[in-house]
Each structure stands twice: as C-alpha cells, then as structure tokens.
Chain A
Amino acid sequence: MAHTLPSSDQSSDQDKWDSGGLECKGQLLIKIVMRNRLTALVVDGDTTCWVLEQELLHSYGVQTLGVDNSRDAVDLIASDAEFNLIIIEKILPVLNGLAVTRQICEIGVRCKMLEVTACSRESERQAFLAIGVDVFIERPLDPEHLVPILRELDGQ
C-alpha cells in the first residue's frame, strides 16, 4: 500500500491544524458509486475486526449481516439466506475457517467468497483457493482489495 501519510507537504499544514488532521478524509477510502444494493455476510470471531469489516462495507452501501462463529454462519447459509459476498476469517470458534468454507461450498453457495487472515502461508492460501474461495487476503480488509470485488459484483 503506497499511501502518502498526511502532513508530509507543508502547504496544507494550516488546514490540518484547524481540523485536527482529520481532513485527510477521502484520501484512502476510494470513492465509488454503487448501482445495486449488495448484501454481505461477515464471519469473524474477532469483534474488533468484525466491527471494522462491517463498517467498511456499510460505507460502500453494502447491507451486512455479521456472525462470530462457524455454526451460525453455516446455519444462515443453509437456511437459504442470500448474499452477494461472504467474508470469512480463518480462525473461528466451533469450526475453523477452512472447514466452514468447505461446508458452505458444499451447500452449493455460489457467491463471491473472500478469506481474510492475519498471516498467510502459501500452503494455507492454496488450500482455501482449492475449496472455492475466490480471494484470499491478509488483514486488514482494505478498500484496495474490496473495491474491485464490489465493482465486479455491482456489474460495473
């Protein structure tokens, strides 16, 4: 991620002092216009990450549902709830991410699946991609990875 951190250019220092530095808003959050209302399921056992992932999706107008364990995730999917996108963390309570992803794919869900994890080893990455995960990324979930996926789902 090659983002310039604020305050490296002197000319806008004045503005930054006045707004407490929050004027860099819009610098990282890539702006896109969504045509459709997408829905996403966020499956993450870590509350901090869960909150962030949902908030990020909300900021793009995506409706989200969040669960923090595998059992609820599988139950939801099995009950015919439909999602455009599923975001799953690798380590989850009850079943690990790999097992629950496999179950979801077996139920026959055909939507975009995004795996988020803190550290990836090549073997893990391959394992997830092999069972049908579309994208495997390292934490944290960021606009750079998310936006192309949202665009694709939106048919842009």
Chain B
Amino acid sequence: MERNPMRRQLAIMRQSLFDQGHVDEQFVQLEELQDDANPNFVEEVVTLYYRDSARIILNIEQALERKPFDFRKLDAYMHQFKGSSSSIGAKKVKAESTLFREYCKSGNGEGCMRSFQQLKKEYATLRKKLGAYFQLARQAGPVETASRPK
C-alpha cells in the first residue's frame, strides 16, 4: 500500500492541533459525523462557525466601546459565542470565553478587555491553522476505505 506523504503530513498537522490544545474531543466528534454522504462536513461547519461568530465578535467589540460597560449584555454575547466555539471543539477559544464571562460576573472591565484581546488572538490563530489543515486535506484527496497493510 502506498504511503501517501500528504496524508502523513495531514495526520501530523491534525495531531498538533490536539497537542497544542487548539481543539478538543469535540473536534473528533465532528470528524465522526463526516462520511461519504457528507465528505466536507468538518470544513463546512467550521466555515459556518467563523461566518456566524464574526457577528458576535463585532457586537462585543462595539459593546466594549460604550462606557460604562453593560456586563449583562457582554455576558450574553459571550454565552452564545462560547456555545458555538465549544461545538466545534475550539478549546483555547472556549477557555478564554469562560474567563471573559468570569470578568463580566465580577464587573471587571479591564479584565474583560484583556481577555477579549487574547480571545481574538486565539480565534485568529485557530482559523489559520484549520484553514491550512483543510487546504491540505483537499489536496490530499478523499479518504479511501482503510485496508490493513500487508
């Protein structure tokens, strides 16, 4: 059986997403929902996530420009953002969302702003990494049914 170097690189890339803590088990669940009927499911869901969450990020940014902070509103936005982030297994983003909500609860504006900056960084990093991963996956071609090596 031919050892496909692209597939190998893909596997390494994928593993590093887990090792570096960017994604968690939920990401594996997305992969499990992908099949012949839905061959690009993971990429589609992630694309959907980035499209929809962009709006929430903007809402939060705008809310952080209005003083005094409306912590309840900020918390509500982040609640939703955390929900979708956890649905795609975005581990670091989710952790930062939790932190943000803690700051909201304690009315810590400075903390919110710092946490949000960090969150945006993680969010952007994940997007880049997943983008590269999906691109390679497309190049590597569809997964064949695995057969035991001889």
List the one stretch of B59-67, B75-83, B109-117, B118-126 in contact with chain A.
B75-83
The total of chain A residues at the interface (CB under 8 A) is: 41
What are the interface flags for B5-45 relative to A under an 8 Å C-beta threshold, 1 for contact and 0 otherwise? 00110110011001000000110111111110010010001
Q: Does A19 contact B (CB under 8 A)?
A: yes
Given A7-B15, A14-B149, A20-B140, is A25 in contact with B83 using a C-beta cutoff of 8 Å? no
User: Across chains A and B, which 8 residue pairs bring their CB atoms closest together, nearest first?
Assistant: A118-B83, A17-B8, A20-B10, A48-B84, A21-B11, A118-B82, A140-B87, A29-B32
Q: Does B143 contact A (CB under 8 A)?
A: yes
Q: Does A154 contact B (CB under 8 A)?
A: no
Flag if B11 contacts A17 (CB, 8 Å): yes
Q: A90-B79, A139-B86 are in contact. List 10 more A-B contacts (CB 8 A).
A: A5-B25, A20-B7, A20-B137, A20-B140, A23-B146, A51-B48, A52-B87, A55-B41, A117-B83, A118-B79
Flag if B87 contacts A139 (CB, 8 Å): yes
Checking A6, A19, A25, A142 against B26 with a beta-carbon cut-off of 8 angstroms, the contacting residue is A142
What are the interface flags for A24-38 relative to B under an 8 Å C-beta threshold, 1 for contact and 0 otherwise? 111111000000000
Q: Does B58 contact A (CB under 8 A)?
A: no
Expressed in whole angstroms, the minimum distance between the Cβ of B112 and any Cβ of chain A is 16
Expressed in whole angstroms, the minimum distance between the Cβ of B131 and any Cβ of chain A is 16
Given A17-B8, A118-B82, is A51 in contact with B45 using a C-beta cutoff of 8 Å? yes
The total of chain B residues at the interface (CB under 8 A) is: 46
Q: Does A46 contact B (CB under 8 A)?
A: yes
Checking B1, B8, B25, B41 against A28 with a beta-carbon cut-off of 8 angstroms, the contacting residue is B25
Q: Does A91 contact B (CB under 8 A)?
A: yes
The answer for the CA separation of A5 and B20 in the assembled complex, in Å, is 13
Q: Does B52 contact A (CB under 8 A)?
A: yes
In the assembled complex, which residues on chain B have CB atoms less than 8 Å from the CB atom of A14?
149
The answer for the CA separation of A55 and B41 in the assembled complex, in Å, is 9
Flag if B49 contacts A48 (CB, 8 Å): yes
Q: Does A123 contact B (CB under 8 A)?
A: no
Q: List 13 A-B contacts (CB under 8 A).
A: A1-B25, A15-B149, A17-B3, A17-B8, A21-B15, A25-B35, A28-B29, A48-B84, A49-B84, A52-B30, A59-B33, A118-B79, A118-B80
